[in-house]
Structure formats: C-alpha cells, structure tokens
Amino acid sequence: MSFIRVVYVLWLRQLKRYFRSKPRMIGSLGQPLLFLLALGFGFGPIFQKAGGGDYLQFLTPGIISMGILFTSTFTGIEVIWDKQFGFLKETLVAPVSRFAIMFGRTLGGATIAMAQGGIILLLSMIFGFRPMSILMMLPAILVMGLVAIIFTALGTAMASRMEDMHGFQLIVNFLIMPIFFMSGALFPLEGLPSAVITITKLNPLAYGVDALRFFLIGTSHFGILLDLSVLMILSFVFMALGSYLFSKMEA
C-alpha cells in the first residue's frame, strides 16, 4: 500500500470517527465558548476601562487556540483506544512505514482540530467578534493548521508511550492547562514580569496565539515572521519526535 493511500485511509478514518460522535463534537465546543462568553463579556468593561480596547476582539484568537489545543492533544487518546482494542496491532503489522501511519493519524487529528477552531471563529463572529479582514482569515487558517499539527503530534507521541486512557487524560490536563494560561491567550504580554515572559517565550502556543492575533485583529507581540518561523520549525520537530516514539511502540 502506497504512502499516500495509507495517509488518506487513516486521515479519513479519524474524520469519520469524530463526526459520527455528535456528543463529542458538541462537548468539545462547550469549554471554549464558556470562556469566550464569560470572560469576553464579563471582563470586557474592565479591560476597556483599563485602556485595552475591546476585550472580545483581543480574547477571540486565544479562545480559538484553546479549542485547537484541547482537541488536537486529546486525539492522542485514540492511539491508546486502538491499542487496547486491537486495531492498532492490525495497522502496525501492515507492510507500510510507521511514519505513514503516524502522519495519517496526525493529519486527521489536526484536521479535526482546525475544524473546531473554524467553528469557534464563526460562532465568535455571531457574538460580536469582527476580524480585521476577510482575506486575512486565509493565513489565519494556516496558523490554525500549524498549531493543530504541533499538538496532535505531541498528543500522539505521549499516547504511544502510555497504556492507560485515564492516566493519559490526567497527564494531558496537567500539561495543557499551563500551556494555555501561559500563552497570552487571556491577557496581554506587555508589562508582565520577566520570569513570566521567559516562560511564555518557551511556550509553542504563545506563537500561535500571537500569529492569530496578527491576522485577525492586526496586533502582534513577537512579530509575525518569528511566529511563523517558530510554528513551522516546531511542527517538523514534533512530527519527528512523534514518529520516533511511535516507531518504538509495541501494540
């Protein structure tokens, strides 16, 4: 079986599995929308009085990144599920490279996460968010894809070294909440203590949030060239790491 066919089959399987689960689709939108509405409208007047402008405009790129982060990372649990129920063993014994299997699963998970980000973007526009330009939404989608690839590969890499779904959920929750809160998704990075800025600079999601803000509302803290460079490099790094760990996995 060719590389492209393997990738396509696994990509399509990921999408079918996800879109058949209506509760999962709806549930994965709940937390981002809660943050968007509760914080966007709750802290909006305070943010505006402090001279920060419209908080909903500032917050929406961060919430889009949040939806992508959670959805993409948790797709790794499907690796453990397939491992426990035997499908992964059937896949791994097939005469195809494990990189093709890893790439297909990552591409499928990233596509799902991008779809989640796109839905959140559309819903935020209903609630009052206004992007700077419709044309700029196209490169914003590219940024969503890079963020989704990074964290889908990370989730798959972590899942390939674990056997227990509950343990995976605990570790992922322990990991992604600090990643989200220290990404600048909820607050501006200007004027923060140097220690916090240093941690933020080491956070991959911070560059995704910053790039989305550039394309959607025209503001950037790090600079769009640095944002895109970091995201592209990390997407290759995490894919390589995920492929290596996946190749060492035993079903």
Distances (CA, A) of 128 to 31, 96, 121, 139: 18, 48, 11, 21
What is the mean predicted confidence (pLDDT) over 79-83? Answer: 74
The pLDDT score that the predictor gives to residue 87 is 66
Q: For the ranges 38-42, 82-86, 156-160, which has the lowest average pLDDT?
A: 82-86
Cα gap 70→175, rounded to integer Å: 11
Residue 140, domain extent: 3-247
The pLDDT score that the predictor gives to residue 22 is 59
Whole-structure pTM over 0.75, yes or no?
A: yes
- What's the token pair of residue 23? 């509760």
What is the phi-psi region of residue 152: left when phi exceeds 0, alpha when psi lies from -120 to 50, beta otherwise?
alpha
Q: What is the mean pLDDT of the chain?
A: 84
**Cα Rg, the chain, nearest whole Å:** 18
pLDDT tier at 78 (50, 70, 90 boundaries)? confident
pLDDT tier at 13 (50, 70, 90 boundaries)? confident
The pLDDT score that the predictor gives to residue 90 is 63
pLDDT digits (tens, 9 = 90+) for 92-101: 666 667 777 7
CA-based nearest residue to 14, from 91, 67, 84, 122:
91
The pLDDT score that the predictor gives to residue 95 is 64
pLDDT digits (tens, 9 = 90+) for 145-184: 999 999 999 988 888 887 777 777 788 888 888 999 999 9
Q: Is the pLDDT of residue 210 over 70?
A: yes
Distances (CA, A) of 202 to 48, 121, 141, 183, 230: 29, 26, 23, 9, 10
CA-based nearest residue to 153, from 119, 185, 108:
108
The pLDDT score that the predictor gives to residue 1 is 56
Q: 203 vs 26, which has greater pLDDT? A: 203
Q: Which string of b and e fits 191-219 if b means at least 16 CB within 10 Å?
A: eeeeeeeeebeebbbbbbbbbbbbbbbee
Contact 131, 216 (CB under 8 A): yes
What is the mean predicted confidence (pLDDT) over 216-220? Answer: 92
Q: Which string of b and e fits 54-71 if b means at least 16 CB within 10 Å?
A: bbbbbbbbbbbbbbbbbb
Cα gap 16→133, rounded to integer Å: 33
What is the mean predicted confidence (pLDDT) over 16-21? Answer: 70
pLDDT tier at 62 (50, 70, 90 boundaries)? very high
The pLDDT score that the predictor gives to residue 241 is 87
Distances (CA, A) of 51 to 68, 190, 226: 29, 13, 27
Helices and strands (H and E) in the chain: how many = 12, 0
Total domains present in the chain: 1
- Orientation of helix 55-74 relative to helix 22-42, angle to 10°: 150
Cα gap 75→72, rounded to integer Å: 5
